[in-house]
Structure 1
Amino acid sequence: MPLYKTFTPNSQTTVKIWKITESYDDLMRPISLRPESLERVLGMKSEIHQRGFLSVRHLLAEFGYTDTDLFYDANGKPHLKDGKYISITHSFTFSAIIVSEHEVGIDIEMQREKIKIIAHKFVDYEFDYLNKSTEDYIKKLTVIWGIKESLYKLFATPGMLFREHFLVVPFMLEDGETIAWIDYEHKKYRYNTYFLEFEGFTCAYVTT
Protein backbone atom coordinates (compact mmCIF):
# COMPACT_ATOMS: atom_id res chain seq x y z
CA MET A 1 0.00 0.00 0.00
CA PRO A 2 1.30 3.46 -0.78
CA LEU A 3 1.02 6.47 1.49
CA TYR A 4 -1.59 5.98 4.26
CA LYS A 5 -2.03 9.51 5.55
CA THR A 6 -0.55 13.00 5.12
CA PHE A 7 -1.31 16.07 7.21
CA THR A 8 0.24 19.43 7.97
CA PRO A 9 0.02 20.49 11.65
CA ASN A 10 1.23 23.94 10.60
CA SER A 11 2.65 25.67 7.54
CA GLN A 12 6.23 24.63 8.42
CA THR A 13 5.52 20.99 9.34
CA THR A 14 4.33 17.89 7.47
CA VAL A 15 3.63 14.35 8.71
CA LYS A 16 3.42 11.33 6.41
CA ILE A 17 2.35 7.85 7.53
CA TRP A 18 2.90 4.61 5.60
CA LYS A 19 0.96 1.37 6.11
CA ILE A 20 3.41 -1.46 5.55
CA THR A 21 1.61 -4.11 3.52
CA GLU A 22 4.35 -4.75 0.93
CA SER A 23 6.81 -7.61 1.07
CA TYR A 24 10.48 -7.05 1.78
CA ASP A 25 11.30 -7.59 -1.90
CA ASP A 26 8.64 -5.16 -3.10
CA LEU A 27 9.91 -2.49 -0.73
CA MET A 28 13.54 -3.05 -1.63
CA ARG A 29 13.16 -3.15 -5.38
CA PRO A 30 12.47 0.50 -6.27
CA ILE A 31 14.85 2.27 -3.87
CA SER A 32 18.57 2.95 -3.77
CA LEU A 33 20.49 2.63 -0.49
CA ARG A 34 23.92 3.80 0.59
CA PRO A 35 26.31 0.90 1.33
CA GLU A 36 26.05 1.49 5.10
CA SER A 37 22.22 1.53 4.92
CA LEU A 38 22.19 -1.66 2.87
CA GLU A 39 24.52 -3.31 5.38
CA ARG A 40 22.26 -2.19 8.20
CA VAL A 41 19.05 -3.55 6.69
CA LEU A 42 20.66 -6.84 5.68
CA GLY A 43 21.94 -7.24 9.23
CA MET A 44 18.48 -6.97 10.78
CA LYS A 45 17.22 -10.30 12.12
CA SER A 46 13.54 -9.39 11.94
CA GLU A 47 11.75 -8.93 8.62
CA ILE A 48 9.32 -6.58 10.38
CA HIS A 49 12.24 -4.28 11.20
CA GLN A 50 13.61 -4.60 7.67
CA ARG A 51 10.27 -3.64 6.16
CA GLY A 52 9.94 -0.76 8.60
CA PHE A 53 13.39 0.53 7.67
CA LEU A 54 12.62 0.30 3.94
CA SER A 55 9.18 1.89 4.26
CA VAL A 56 10.87 4.90 5.86
CA ARG A 57 12.99 5.25 2.71
CA HIS A 58 9.78 5.28 0.67
CA LEU A 59 8.45 8.02 2.96
CA LEU A 60 11.65 9.98 2.38
CA ALA A 61 10.94 9.74 -1.34
CA GLU A 62 7.44 11.13 -0.74
CA PHE A 63 9.15 14.21 0.70
CA GLY A 64 11.52 14.38 -2.26
CA TYR A 65 14.53 12.98 -0.38
CA THR A 66 16.70 9.91 -0.87
CA ASP A 67 18.64 7.76 1.56
CA THR A 68 21.72 9.90 0.91
CA ASP A 69 19.93 13.01 2.25
CA LEU A 70 19.62 11.43 5.71
CA PHE A 71 22.35 11.08 8.32
CA TYR A 72 22.57 10.40 12.06
CA ASP A 73 24.55 12.13 14.78
CA ALA A 74 26.47 10.53 17.66
CA ASN A 75 23.29 10.25 19.73
CA GLY A 76 21.43 8.47 16.93
CA LYS A 77 19.27 11.45 16.04
CA PRO A 78 18.40 11.71 12.32
CA HIS A 79 19.16 14.87 10.34
CA LEU A 80 18.58 16.08 6.79
CA LYS A 81 21.38 17.59 4.75
CA ASP A 82 19.23 20.57 3.73
CA GLY A 83 18.95 21.63 7.38
CA LYS A 84 15.28 20.83 7.92
CA TYR A 85 14.36 18.90 11.07
CA ILE A 86 13.19 15.28 10.84
CA SER A 87 11.97 12.55 13.16
CA ILE A 88 11.26 8.93 12.23
CA THR A 89 9.26 6.07 13.71
CA HIS A 90 7.97 2.63 12.79
CA SER A 91 5.95 0.05 14.70
CA PHE A 92 4.80 -3.28 13.29
CA THR A 93 2.71 -2.31 10.21
CA PHE A 94 3.06 1.47 10.28
CA SER A 95 5.88 3.96 9.83
CA ALA A 96 5.91 7.74 9.85
CA ILE A 97 8.14 10.74 9.23
CA ILE A 98 7.70 14.33 10.37
CA VAL A 99 9.67 17.09 8.61
CA SER A 100 9.68 20.69 9.79
CA GLU A 101 11.45 24.02 9.86
CA HIS A 102 11.49 23.58 13.66
CA GLU A 103 12.60 20.80 16.01
CA VAL A 104 10.14 17.90 16.11
CA GLY A 105 9.71 14.35 17.39
CA ILE A 106 7.30 11.56 16.41
CA ASP A 107 6.35 8.09 17.62
CA ILE A 108 3.88 5.36 16.64
CA GLU A 109 2.84 2.67 19.13
CA MET A 110 0.44 -0.25 18.99
CA GLN A 111 -2.21 -0.05 21.70
CA ARG A 112 -1.52 -3.10 23.87
CA GLU A 113 -2.59 -4.40 27.28
CA LYS A 114 0.97 -4.91 28.44
CA ILE A 115 1.54 -1.15 28.66
CA LYS A 116 -0.34 -1.30 31.99
CA ILE A 117 2.39 -3.52 33.40
CA ILE A 118 5.21 -1.11 32.57
CA ALA A 119 3.29 2.13 33.26
CA HIS A 120 5.13 2.71 36.54
CA LYS A 121 8.40 2.94 34.58
CA PHE A 122 7.37 5.99 32.55
CA VAL A 123 4.43 7.56 34.43
CA ASP A 124 4.69 9.64 37.61
CA TYR A 125 2.72 12.89 37.74
CA GLU A 126 0.27 11.59 35.13
CA PHE A 127 -1.08 8.98 37.57
CA ASP A 128 -2.78 11.89 39.36
CA TYR A 129 -5.26 12.29 36.51
CA LEU A 130 -5.39 8.79 35.02
CA ASN A 131 -8.21 6.44 36.00
CA LYS A 132 -7.16 2.79 35.80
CA SER A 133 -10.78 1.59 35.74
CA THR A 134 -11.85 3.43 32.59
CA GLU A 135 -11.97 1.88 29.14
CA ASP A 136 -9.60 4.49 27.73
CA TYR A 137 -6.80 3.79 30.24
CA ILE A 138 -4.65 1.84 27.75
CA LYS A 139 -5.20 4.45 25.06
CA LYS A 140 -4.22 7.29 27.39
CA LEU A 141 -1.12 5.42 28.57
CA THR A 142 -0.18 4.88 24.92
CA VAL A 143 -0.58 8.60 24.21
CA ILE A 144 1.63 9.46 27.20
CA TRP A 145 4.30 6.98 26.13
CA GLY A 146 4.17 8.26 22.53
CA ILE A 147 4.51 11.88 23.63
CA LYS A 148 7.42 11.10 25.95
CA GLU A 149 9.15 9.01 23.28
CA SER A 150 8.70 11.92 20.85
CA LEU A 151 10.17 14.34 23.39
CA TYR A 152 13.13 12.03 23.89
CA LYS A 153 13.74 11.88 20.14
CA LEU A 154 13.51 15.66 19.84
CA PHE A 155 15.83 16.42 22.76
CA ALA A 156 18.20 13.47 22.10
CA THR A 157 20.17 13.88 25.31
CA PRO A 158 21.64 10.81 27.05
CA GLY A 159 20.55 10.48 30.67
CA MET A 160 17.01 11.77 30.24
CA LEU A 161 14.34 9.57 31.85
CA PHE A 162 10.67 9.39 30.84
CA ARG A 163 9.36 9.20 34.40
CA GLU A 164 11.58 11.80 36.00
CA HIS A 165 12.11 14.42 33.31
CA PHE A 166 8.99 14.42 31.10
CA LEU A 167 5.51 15.62 32.11
CA VAL A 168 2.30 15.43 30.08
CA VAL A 169 -0.52 17.83 31.03
CA PRO A 170 -4.03 16.30 31.45
CA PHE A 171 -5.85 15.70 28.17
CA MET A 172 -8.95 14.22 26.58
CA LEU A 173 -8.54 11.70 23.78
CA GLU A 174 -11.03 13.56 21.60
CA ASP A 175 -8.96 16.75 21.82
CA GLY A 176 -5.99 15.25 19.98
CA GLU A 177 -3.54 17.64 21.60
CA THR A 178 -2.05 18.73 24.90
CA ILE A 179 1.04 20.36 26.40
CA ALA A 180 4.16 18.58 27.63
CA TRP A 181 7.16 19.75 29.61
CA ILE A 182 10.75 18.67 29.95
CA ASP A 183 12.27 19.44 33.35
CA TYR A 184 15.97 18.70 33.07
CA GLU A 185 19.04 20.06 34.83
CA HIS A 186 17.14 22.98 36.41
CA LYS A 187 15.67 24.09 33.08
CA LYS A 188 12.09 23.73 31.83
CA TYR A 189 11.04 23.38 28.19
CA ARG A 190 7.44 23.59 26.93
CA TYR A 191 6.19 21.71 23.85
CA ASN A 192 2.98 21.49 21.87
CA THR A 193 1.99 17.85 21.50
CA TYR A 194 -0.53 16.13 19.25
CA PHE A 195 -1.87 12.61 18.82
CA LEU A 196 -4.24 10.55 16.70
CA GLU A 197 -5.48 6.95 16.56
CA PHE A 198 -5.93 4.56 13.65
CA GLU A 199 -6.36 0.80 13.34
CA GLY A 200 -5.32 0.09 16.93
CA PHE A 201 -2.27 2.33 16.82
CA THR A 202 -1.48 5.74 18.32
CA CYS A 203 0.72 8.33 16.65
CA ALA A 204 2.05 11.17 18.79
CA TYR A 205 4.25 14.05 17.74
CA VAL A 206 5.70 17.15 19.36
CA THR A 207 6.73 20.52 17.99
CA THR A 208 8.51 23.55 19.39
Structure 2
Amino acid sequence: MPVYKTLQPNSQTTVKIWKITESYDELFQAVKLKPESLTRVLGMKSELHQRGFLSVRCLLAELGYSDFDLYYDQNGKPHLKDGRHISITHSFTFSGVVISDKKTGIDIEKNREKVKLIAHKFSNYEFCYLSEDEIDYVKKLTVIWGAKEALYKLYATPGLSFYNHILVIPFDLNEGQTTAWIDYKDSKNRFDIYFLEFEDFTCVYTVT
Protein backbone atom coordinates (compact mmCIF):
# COMPACT_ATOMS: atom_id res chain seq x y z
CA MET A 1 0.00 0.00 0.00
CA PRO A 2 1.10 3.62 -0.25
CA VAL A 3 2.33 5.56 2.77
CA TYR A 4 0.12 4.84 5.79
CA LYS A 5 0.80 8.08 7.65
CA THR A 6 2.85 11.26 7.22
CA LEU A 7 3.78 13.57 10.09
CA GLN A 8 5.47 16.97 9.91
CA PRO A 9 6.61 17.83 13.47
CA ASN A 10 8.40 20.93 12.18
CA SER A 11 9.39 22.53 8.88
CA GLN A 12 12.72 20.67 8.78
CA THR A 13 11.43 17.21 9.71
CA THR A 14 9.23 14.59 8.02
CA VAL A 15 8.07 11.25 9.43
CA LYS A 16 6.56 8.64 7.14
CA ILE A 17 5.05 5.31 8.18
CA TRP A 18 4.36 2.38 5.83
CA LYS A 19 1.90 -0.45 6.44
CA ILE A 20 3.49 -3.54 4.92
CA THR A 21 0.75 -5.32 3.00
CA GLU A 22 2.82 -6.18 -0.08
CA SER A 23 4.51 -9.51 -0.71
CA TYR A 24 8.28 -9.83 -0.72
CA ASP A 25 8.27 -10.05 -4.53
CA GLU A 26 6.16 -6.92 -4.93
CA LEU A 27 8.45 -4.90 -2.66
CA PHE A 28 11.59 -6.32 -4.27
CA GLN A 29 10.40 -5.26 -7.72
CA ALA A 30 9.55 -1.77 -6.47
CA VAL A 31 13.07 -0.77 -5.37
CA LYS A 32 16.64 -0.67 -6.64
CA LEU A 33 19.34 -1.86 -4.26
CA LYS A 34 23.09 -1.33 -4.19
CA PRO A 35 25.09 -4.60 -4.16
CA GLU A 36 25.71 -4.70 -0.39
CA SER A 37 22.01 -4.12 0.32
CA LEU A 38 21.04 -6.88 -2.11
CA THR A 39 23.43 -9.26 -0.36
CA ARG A 40 22.01 -8.24 3.01
CA VAL A 41 18.34 -8.72 2.12
CA LEU A 42 18.96 -12.03 0.36
CA GLY A 43 20.79 -13.28 3.44
CA MET A 44 17.91 -12.57 5.81
CA LYS A 45 16.26 -15.75 7.09
CA SER A 46 12.93 -14.11 7.90
CA GLU A 47 10.64 -12.89 5.13
CA LEU A 48 9.13 -10.49 7.67
CA HIS A 49 12.54 -8.83 8.07
CA GLN A 50 13.07 -8.81 4.31
CA ARG A 51 9.75 -7.06 3.76
CA GLY A 52 10.57 -4.57 6.51
CA PHE A 53 13.95 -3.82 4.93
CA LEU A 54 12.43 -3.34 1.48
CA SER A 55 9.51 -1.23 2.72
CA VAL A 56 12.02 1.18 4.28
CA ARG A 57 13.52 1.61 0.78
CA CYS A 58 10.01 2.37 -0.50
CA LEU A 59 9.73 5.06 2.16
CA LEU A 60 13.08 6.48 1.08
CA ALA A 61 11.67 6.83 -2.43
CA GLU A 62 8.63 8.65 -1.05
CA LEU A 63 11.04 11.08 0.61
CA GLY A 64 13.04 11.66 -2.56
CA TYR A 65 15.93 9.29 -1.81
CA SER A 66 17.05 5.81 -2.79
CA ASP A 67 19.06 3.01 -1.25
CA PHE A 68 22.11 4.48 -3.00
CA ASP A 69 21.79 7.65 -0.88
CA LEU A 70 21.96 5.68 2.36
CA TYR A 71 25.01 4.39 4.22
CA TYR A 72 25.82 3.13 7.72
CA ASP A 73 28.69 4.08 10.04
CA GLN A 74 30.76 1.77 12.26
CA ASN A 75 28.09 1.90 14.97
CA GLY A 76 25.33 0.83 12.56
CA LYS A 77 23.76 4.29 12.47
CA PRO A 78 22.23 5.22 9.09
CA HIS A 79 23.25 8.42 7.29
CA LEU A 80 22.27 10.22 4.10
CA LYS A 81 24.94 11.33 1.66
CA ASP A 82 23.51 14.85 1.48
CA GLY A 83 24.15 15.38 5.20
CA ARG A 84 20.55 15.32 6.43
CA HIS A 85 19.78 13.13 9.44
CA ILE A 86 17.78 9.91 9.17
CA SER A 87 16.44 7.23 11.48
CA ILE A 88 14.78 3.95 10.47
CA THR A 89 12.52 1.40 12.15
CA HIS A 90 10.37 -1.60 11.28
CA SER A 91 8.25 -3.91 13.41
CA PHE A 92 6.08 -6.72 12.07
CA THR A 93 3.76 -5.04 9.54
CA PHE A 94 4.86 -1.42 9.91
CA SER A 95 8.01 0.49 9.05
CA GLY A 96 8.95 4.11 9.57
CA VAL A 97 11.52 6.68 8.50
CA VAL A 98 12.22 10.16 9.86
CA ILE A 99 14.41 12.64 8.00
CA SER A 100 15.43 15.96 9.51
CA ASP A 101 17.98 18.76 9.38
CA LYS A 102 18.68 17.89 13.03
CA LYS A 103 19.62 14.67 14.82
CA THR A 104 16.62 12.38 15.11
CA GLY A 105 15.47 8.93 16.17
CA ILE A 106 12.37 6.78 15.60
CA ASP A 107 11.01 3.46 16.82
CA ILE A 108 7.86 1.43 16.21
CA GLU A 109 6.82 -1.29 18.65
CA LYS A 110 3.83 -3.61 18.80
CA ASN A 111 1.85 -3.28 22.03
CA ARG A 112 2.31 -6.69 23.66
CA GLU A 113 1.97 -8.09 27.17
CA LYS A 114 5.49 -9.44 26.74
CA VAL A 115 6.85 -5.97 27.47
CA LYS A 116 5.99 -6.47 31.16
CA LEU A 117 8.43 -9.37 31.36
CA ILE A 118 11.37 -7.31 30.10
CA ALA A 119 10.48 -3.95 31.65
CA HIS A 120 13.06 -4.39 34.41
CA LYS A 121 15.77 -4.44 31.74
CA PHE A 122 15.02 -1.02 30.28
CA SER A 123 13.10 0.82 33.04
CA ASN A 124 14.58 2.18 36.26
CA TYR A 125 13.46 5.66 37.28
CA GLU A 126 10.16 5.11 35.44
CA PHE A 127 8.97 2.60 38.04
CA CYS A 128 8.64 5.58 40.41
CA TYR A 129 5.50 6.63 38.56
CA LEU A 130 4.31 3.44 36.84
CA SER A 131 1.83 1.00 38.37
CA GLU A 132 1.02 -2.50 37.12
CA ASP A 133 -2.59 -1.84 38.15
CA GLU A 134 -2.96 0.86 35.49
CA ILE A 135 -5.23 -0.04 32.58
CA ASP A 136 -2.68 1.43 30.17
CA TYR A 137 0.39 -0.12 31.83
CA VAL A 138 1.45 -2.04 28.70
CA LYS A 139 0.95 0.98 26.44
CA LYS A 140 2.97 3.21 28.77
CA LEU A 141 5.79 0.69 28.97
CA THR A 142 5.77 0.51 25.18
CA VAL A 143 6.08 4.29 24.91
CA ILE A 144 9.02 4.22 27.36
CA TRP A 145 10.71 1.40 25.46
CA GLY A 146 10.16 3.18 22.15
CA ALA A 147 11.44 6.48 23.53
CA LYS A 148 14.64 4.85 24.74
CA GLU A 149 15.11 3.03 21.45
CA ALA A 150 14.64 6.28 19.53
CA LEU A 151 17.09 8.14 21.75
CA TYR A 152 19.62 5.31 21.53
CA LYS A 153 19.45 5.57 17.73
CA LEU A 154 19.85 9.34 17.88
CA TYR A 155 22.75 9.27 20.34
CA ALA A 156 24.50 6.26 18.72
CA THR A 157 27.18 6.05 21.41
CA PRO A 158 28.60 2.69 22.55
CA GLY A 159 28.04 2.10 26.26
CA LEU A 160 24.79 4.05 26.53
CA SER A 161 22.34 2.07 28.69
CA PHE A 162 18.53 2.20 28.54
CA TYR A 163 18.41 1.30 32.24
CA ASN A 164 21.15 3.54 33.62
CA HIS A 165 21.38 6.55 31.35
CA ILE A 166 17.98 7.34 29.78
CA LEU A 167 15.07 8.70 31.86
CA VAL A 168 11.54 9.25 30.56
CA ILE A 169 9.54 11.83 32.50
CA PRO A 170 5.93 11.02 33.61
CA PHE A 171 3.40 11.48 30.80
CA ASP A 172 -0.25 11.15 29.82
CA LEU A 173 -0.98 8.93 26.83
CA ASN A 174 -3.59 11.42 25.59
CA GLU A 175 -1.00 14.19 25.26
CA GLY A 176 1.15 12.36 22.73
CA GLN A 177 4.39 13.82 24.01
CA THR A 178 6.77 13.85 26.95
CA THR A 179 10.34 14.69 27.87
CA ALA A 180 13.37 12.45 28.33
CA TRP A 181 16.90 12.94 29.58
CA ILE A 182 20.17 11.28 28.72
CA ASP A 183 22.60 11.45 31.64
CA TYR A 184 25.85 9.93 30.40
CA LYS A 185 29.53 10.61 30.97
CA ASP A 186 29.04 13.85 32.95
CA SER A 187 26.71 15.23 30.27
CA LYS A 188 22.96 15.80 30.67
CA ASN A 189 20.76 16.41 27.63
CA ARG A 190 17.01 17.01 27.41
CA PHE A 191 14.89 15.72 24.52
CA ASP A 192 11.28 16.21 23.42
CA ILE A 193 9.56 12.87 22.77
CA TYR A 194 6.48 12.42 20.56
CA PHE A 195 4.35 9.29 20.29
CA LEU A 196 1.20 7.98 18.63
CA GLU A 197 -0.70 4.72 18.53
CA PHE A 198 -2.28 2.99 15.52
CA GLU A 199 -3.61 -0.55 15.00
CA ASP A 200 -2.10 -1.69 18.32
CA PHE A 201 1.36 -0.36 17.44
CA THR A 202 3.14 2.59 19.02
CA CYS A 203 5.47 4.92 17.14
CA VAL A 204 7.85 7.11 19.12
CA TYR A 205 10.19 9.72 17.65
CA THR A 206 12.45 12.53 18.81
CA VAL A 207 14.20 15.45 17.13
CA THR A 208 16.89 17.61 18.73
What is the alpha-carbon distance in structure 2 between the residues aligned to residue 114 and residue 25 of structure 1? 31
Which residue of structure 2 aligns with residue 100 of structure 1?
100
The Cα RMSD (Å) is 0.5
* Partner amino acid, structure 1, of 2:179: I
Which residue of structure 1 aligns with residue 113 of structure 2?
113
Which residue of structure 1 aligns with residue 28 of structure 2?
28
2:139 matches 1:139: yes
What is the alpha-carbon distance in structure 2 between the residues aligned to residue 16 and residue 100 of structure 1? 12
Which residue of structure 1 aligns with residue 10 of structure 2?
10
2:122 matches 1:125: no
Gaps of 5+ in 2: none
* Partner amino acid, structure 2, of 1:30: A
Moved over 2 A (4+): none
2:44 matches 1:83: no
* Partner amino acid, structure 2, of 1:179: T
The offset of 1:30, in angstroms, is 2.0
Q: Deviations over 1:138-160 (max 9, x none)?
A: 00000000000000000001111
Q: TM-score, normalised by structure 1?
A: 0.99
What is the alpha-carbon distance in structure 2 between the residues aligned to residue 130 and residue 30 of structure 1? 44
Q: TM-score, normalised by structure 2?
A: 0.99
Q: Secondary structure at the match of 2:7?
A: strand
The offset of 1:65, in angstroms, is 0.3
Q: Deviations over 1:18-39 (max 9, x none)?
A: 0000000000012110000000
Which residue of structure 2 aligns with residue 45 of structure 1?
45
Q: Secondary structure at the match of 2:130?
A: coil
Alignment length (residue pairs): 208
* Partner amino acid, structure 2, of 1:154: L
Q: Percent identity?
A: 68
Gaps of 5+ in 1: none
* Partner amino acid, structure 1, of 2:116: K
What is the alpha-carbon distance in structure 2 between the residues aligned to residue 6 and residue 207 of structure 1? 16
